[in-house]
Structure formats: structure tokens, C-alpha cells
Amino acid sequence: MPAMMLSLAAAFTVTAAYPAEAAGMKRTITMVAVEPKGGTTVDKEPFPTTALPEGKGYELKAPNAEGRWEVSTYRWEPSQIIVNQGDEVTLEVLGVNGAEHPAVIDGYDITFTVKRGQLSTVTFTADKAGVFEFRCGIHQPSMTGELIVLPSG
């Protein structure tokens, strides 16, 4: 029992000290630009009567001749990135769906384009704390995410 308590105490110390000791780390975040899709037929589920928000980020296809309807959306995955202020952050974004995604990270004046089949790499120092939106210039309003930079100190 004492040994177990000691190891728990050690684990807690490491966890509690993580943000301060980890600041300034090199972080690589792997992401994808994807288009999840779903669909069914009107004999199983009626076609939705409520429209989705305007923009190319959402698509609701009306039933075809066989009664099949489909829904899809464009997403960044993950769409929330959490780093510590001072970290050197590298985003490696693979384009899986969609020909291209011109992206911007607000507050950091960073722009990059993700193309299908290519890995786009963006490296920056997260020197400003706060919550910064990043988004695709084409697939709105869904292809939006947050860069969350936790303040150091």
C-alpha cells in the first residue's frame, strides 16, 4: 500500500507540473480535411424538412429516383488544437476529401492550402495566448476550428 501511494503521488506531481515544464515544446499535430457522409432511403427515413445552414460546408442531397438521399459536411479533424504558449507547433494536414482547402488562422496571420492527396505542413511559434479560429475559405460554416493556446506562467 505505501508503494502504491508513493507512485500515485509521483504521477500527480508530474501531471500538475506539466504545463510549466512543457512550455516551449515542439508539438506536431496530425490533422485531416475530411467529408463525412451519410444517407438512407425515404422508405426508411423521411427526407429532412429543415434546411441546413447556407454554405459549401454542408450538403443535403434530395432523394434520387430510387428515393435515396444523402448528407455530408466538410470538417477539420481534429477541430480543436490545444497547445501551450511558447510551443513550436507544426500542423501536418492531409487532404482526404475535397480538391483544396485554403485555410487561415486568425490572430496569427497564417495562411496555407490543403490539397487532396498532399500533406501540408505549417510551423509556427504559439507566442500569443488565447482562442484563435481557423477555417477553410470554401467550406463554411462547418470547416472551422479553434487553436487554443494556454497562457504560460
Q: Least distance (Å) from Cu ion to the CB of residue 74?
A: 5
Strand order in the sheet with 26-34: 75-77, 26-34, 88-95, 119-125
Select 101 or 146, whichever has its Cβ closest to Cu ion: 101
Q: Least distance (Å) from Cu ion to the CB of residue 143?
A: 5
Select 84 or 142, whichever has its Cβ closest to Cu ion: 142
Q: Least distance (Å) from Cu ion to the CB of residue 33?
A: 6
Give the strand pairing for 119-125 and 88-95. Answer: antiparallel
Point out which residues bind Cu ion (CB under 5 A).
101, 136, 138-139, 143
Residue 15 gets the label, from left (phi > 0), alpha (psi -120 to 50) or beta, of alpha
Select 91 or 139, whichever has its Cβ closest to Cu ion: 139
Q: Examine residue 151 and say whether the peptide bond preceding it is cis (omega within 30 degrees of 0).
A: no
